[in-house]
Chain A
């Protein structure tokens, strides 16, 4: 791999603060608690590790990139905190198993804590993280990355828990099978593990990753921080930056939640406020916010982003902190075009989440 040292962007504590907010927004309610991730990232910076981003354009075609991320239940991620070096153990075990050395770490999912996990692991390994990810947001399942959609075989992979247990998934006949096996295993590992997938080439990453997602998330976080400092409307700042729309304001009037197949699923009902008074909103949750309906009519759905913010502060809310009586704003942000191809919609469109009758309509087209 060619020398890229002079192209690295070494993150500061302020960048990490911005990433917490930006990845929280792109997390669409999932991806784990970014605050915990931020504390861990800050802790490793303070311990002298460098958290570095490599511009995607500077990535060598022959480079070996190991995509990595946390897997499990959000509730667990902010109660049973990680041991810390789960990701590094995954990376080392995978290198040993395949007999190679990673050149860079890739991010599976920019949303939530999963934006931090690759940085922390790469910091320990003295490697950079490439500026891109496999979702451009958060999704609940592993086969929903653009890596998987566009042909990367993610096995052999290694999953580690805080106890030191490591599992190698030698081969999966499909990405969905890999997901199913990993999901079964993560339950036995206590509900929150880290998984490193088989390496991909720099050339593949450049073609199929959602590009510049760290730059995007950190920029988005900075925009919110600036708006708040200047008493501008952070919600407007987010919409302007991302080409999104503020589609509903209201108060949570009911929240139904349960666990199903290892997921936190549920429905949040929202009584309209302000110019939405008299309307009833409804958000369908499956780890992330999937669909938003207004008075029964679908307004936005996956893969476009349904973002829930605190109505007053403009800060993102994750699914597990939603509460009865909370005042929230619902935003729709358009997803990256790599998620909108027919090939992608099969995996990340409404049908893939159990809504076969719901036709995806890009939010950019609806007015």
Chain B
């Protein structure tokens, strides 16, 4: 018997659940607070009390967070970044962030630098690293007061020496600068890997602050069990990894809510809409798992090449601000976020939100209904119509066939969902509001191998099976049950013109977390 505490820290709400094996003992919802910590403390105190378990009986805590994704989507808490690419004279035609939305480029400062360096596919240097130029850039970084840099070098997933050399040189001239290397984050595909590194760099101070707050909240609540954070493929990573790589959590919210939705309903094929406080994520559930995007995934309008579920996010949630009158109505994309319970009309504030519309329309009972009675019914109708239209568009985009599969509505904001979306029925499971936390609590353990193997004197199949054995052992050591392990990624990329017929093998297995005492 294993007791797991799952916590989901969203932009608006912090949810917590306690699971005993496959049974949801208790689920609670509380507001996300500006300091993050007190919201987590409140949620876990409430859920522990509700479940009636001793806190030292809890075996493990899993935290899912959409904090970093929301920061990018809402363009908030992003630090300016020096985006430094080593590759000239190649790559000059497409500068860093060339395919980013303009406002996001402005947010991170638009500091793009291209200099000589990088590798050819066969290991030759495109050009030696232009150290003088890098030192000049370091001076500019200091003058501008930029605190973070992202370095991307051509073919760094195969050879990261130059990225590392550039980082060391930068740190010499800019002590205290946070530097992210593209080779630590992504794989081949320069623009996508570089974009991920830049976004990661822009999120570092937020992630540092956030992970610190998570840890403190757990300690102060007397929880001494291990603590993990869920990443975008639904598996877990150690807290310190998140501190350095917040982008790896990017799609964990949708993954957790979809896996939670499947777990709570027992429905394996559906469209899941997760309506939070700030955004709605929509994705397709196939055989109980989120459908993976084929190639690249958009986050806040930027392409990245992580393996992620194919979800579509729209700026609609319970805290979304409604402006204008019945004829010139606008819903979002701005949101009051975690300040919903102080700023929304129904909570005594003075901002009109979608939650106020739902309360006025009798779709939900939250806050004080008397405070929204003055909203014009014509405005309510217009807002409801607009919300239904936004949801239908998002659901249609995720639909992959005309089959009438159900829509599962989860998340605190699912009070906004109508009974039907287009021609599809909407299911709202018990514990719908905390599906994310359930998804976090059932997150899996992975084991991964990403290394260069020499094929000389052996075969590709032997190397793949050696890599699989190693990945399985890693996963089992981390707590996975051997009988549940499955391979989710298996990739071998031959590296031409290296001695020994070298090939890079990337293999990942995932499985359920087993008895932690093993």
A110 in contact (CB, < 8 A): no
Chain B 89-106 interface mask (CB, 8 Å, partner A; 1/0): 111111000110000000
Which applies to chain A's interface (DSSP): helix, strand, loop or mixed?
loop
Partner of B295, one of A79, A80, A162, A317: A317
A326 within 8 A of B: yes
A43 touches B94 (CB 8 A): yes
Q: How far, in Å, is B143 (CB) from chain A's closest CB?
A: 29
Q: Please report which residues of chain B, range 377-430, place their CB below 8 angstroms from some CB of chain A when the two chains form the complex.
A: 396, 399-400, 402
- Binary flags per residue of B287-331, CB closer than 8 Å to A gives 1, else 0: 000011011000000000000001000000000000000000000
Cβ–Cβ contact B89 & A321, under 8 A: no
> Does chain A have a CB within 8 A of B154?
yes
Q: A36 to B191, Cβ gap below 8 A? A: yes
- Which of B124, B126, B400, B489 is A324 in contact with, Cβ under 8 Å? B489
CB neighbours of B399 from chain A (8 A): 231
Distance of A207 Cα from B490 Cα, bound (Å): 47
Return B98 CB to nearest CB of chain A, in Å: 6
A243 within 8 A of B: no
B89 touches A164 (CB 8 A): yes
- Chain B residue numbers with a CB within 8 Å of A39 are 94, 98-99, 191
Q: Which of B154, B487, B503 contacts A80 (CB 8 A)?
A: B154
Residues of B within 8 A of A317 (CB): 294-295
Taking a contact as CB atoms under 8 Å apart, the answer to whether B121 and A191 are in contact is yes
**Residue ID in chain A nearest B493 by CB atoms:** A257
Q: How far is the CA of A162 from the CA of B94 in the complex (A)?
A: 13
| Total cross-chain contacts (CB, 8 A) | 109
Q: Which residue of A lies closest to B124 (CB)?
A: A190
Q: How far is the CB of B341 from the nearest CB of chain A, in Å?
A: 38
Closest B residue, CB atoms, query A321: B295
User: How far apart sit A70 and B310, CA to CA, in the bound complex (Å)?
Assistant: 32
Most chain A CB neighbours (cut-off 10 Å) among B87, B120, B496, B503:
B120
A43 touches B291 (CB 8 A): no
B154 x A79 contact (CB < 8 A): yes
The reply on A5 being an interface residue by CB < 8 A is no
Q: Which residues of B contact A164 (CB under 8 A)?
A: 89
Looking across the interface, which residue of chain B has its beta carbon closest to that of A314? Answer: B400
Residue-by-residue, is B165-192 near A (CB-CB < 8 Å gives 1, otherwise 0)? 0000000000000000000000011110
B118 to A, closest residue via Cβ = A80
Q: Which residues of A contact B87 (CB under 8 A)?
A: 80-81
* Shortest distance between the CB of B449 and any CB in chain A (Å): 14
Contacts of A83 in B (CB 8 A): 89-93
Q: Is the CB of B90 within 8 A of A324?
A: no
Q: A79-B188, A79-B190, A321-B295 known; A190 and B126 CB under 8 Å?
A: yes
Q: Is B136 positioned at the interface, with any CB of A under 8 Å from its CB?
A: no
In the bound complex, residues from chain A placing their C-beta under 8 Å from that of B294 are 310, 312-313, 315, 317, 321, 326
Contact of A81 among B94, B122, B402, B493 (CB under 8 A): B94
- In the assembled complex, the Cα of A325 lies from the Cα of B191 at a distance in Å of 24
A80–B190 CB distance below 8 A: yes
Q: Which residue of B lies closest to A232 (CB)?
A: B402
* CA–CA, A75 and B188, complex, Å: 8
Q: Which of B472-511 contact A (CB under 8 A)?
A: 487-494, 496, 503
Chain A residues near B291 (CB, 8 Å)? 312
4 additional A-B pairs beyond A43-B94, A79-B155, beta carbons within 8 Å, are A81-B190, A191-B122, A258-B494, A312-B400
Q: List 20 A-B contacts (CB under 8 A).
A: A39-B94, A43-B93, A78-B189, A79-B155, A80-B154, A80-B155, A81-B87, A81-B93, A83-B91, A162-B90, A162-B92, A187-B122, A190-B121, A191-B120, A191-B121, A257-B492, A310-B294, A312-B284, A323-B491, A324-B489
